[in-house]
Amino acid sequence: MKLNSCSDIRKYFIGELEDECFTIDRFGQKTIELMPASFIADDEAIFGTPNKQYIEEEILWYESKSTNIADIKGTIADAPQAWQMTANIHGEINSNYGQLVFSSKYHNQFNRALTELIHNPDSRRAQMVYNRPSIWVEYDEYGKNDFICTNAQTFYIRDGRLDMIVQMRSNDVWAGYRNDRAWAEYLQLKMLKELQNRMIDVEQGFIFWQVMNLHVYSRNFWMVDAYGKHGRNMTKKEYTELNPDSKYL
């Protein structure tokens, strides 16, 4: 059975852009969607390149378990725009992923998954649940707009590998994927180290990515076009120099 890769996902979005197969969102913005998407997350980014410095900052914030975006970079105004749009005026959000998997408030899910794998390496229960039924009344409370994007992550030990399946409610193919994948691999390596420290013979395996709605916004169509025309990721400056008349600028 052939499993899709990041390369296949790129080809899909490039083809949809060429055919102008767009969906119009609630703000009147064009998007390209893939519903559902399932692939091996074999690249750190699908379009664009990872922002290593920001990824490190976000992971440190997740580890802190803070639910205030001011703690990412020091102030609310310095947090990424996507987080500012999610938070209320005080900077509060629901989606600190570290709080969701490491805190006692949410039942120490990472440690429970670890314990499960130690006692039963063949388990199908080593899962960490991010979303929850109560999100329907919590996503917009106190002025927030944060309906958690990750549904669950599950670890499996198979054929001497620690594999991970990530299930997303919604995922932006540009920044969303690259940042969420970095977090997933961080957890995978953390789990791997914990297992190896307990003399469990296992190596890093695959990360499988399952998304209900994988999408790219019109403001980032140029990234898709860049890969379609030039076969690689590039900066917007480079793309503009090579394609000065592009309708995606």
Each residue of 96-123: pLDDT tens digit? 999 999 999 999 999 999 999 999 999 9
Say which CATH architecture domain 6-91+107-242 belongs to. 2-Layer Sandwich (3.30)
Residue 27: its pLDDT value, please? 84
Mean pLDDT of the chain: 97
- Contacts of residue 39, Cβ cutoff 8 Å, sequence gap at least 6: 3, 4, 5, 6, 8, 9, 208, 209
Instruction: Give, in order, the Cα–Cα distances in Å from 101 to each of 106, 121, 133.
Output: 7, 20, 17
Residue 223: its pLDDT value, please? 98
* pLDDT tens for each residue of 214-243: 999 999 999 999 999 999 999 999 999 999
- In this predicted structure, the answer to whether residue 19 has a pLDDT above a threshold of 90 is yes
Residue 125: its pLDDT value, please? 98
Provide the annotated active-site residues: 149
* pLDDT tens for each residue of 20-64: 999 998 889 999 999 999 999 999 999 999 999 999 999 999 999
Closest CA to 100 of 56, 55, 151, 136: 151
CB 72 within 8 A of CB 61: yes
Closest CA to 168 of 158, 157, 154, 187: 154
Residue 121: its pLDDT value, please? 97
Residue 91: its pLDDT value, please? 98
Concatenating the DSSP letter of every residue in 138-207 gives HTTGGG-----SEEEEEEEEETTEEEEEEEES-EETTHHHHHHHHHHHHHHHHHHHHHHHTT---EEEEE
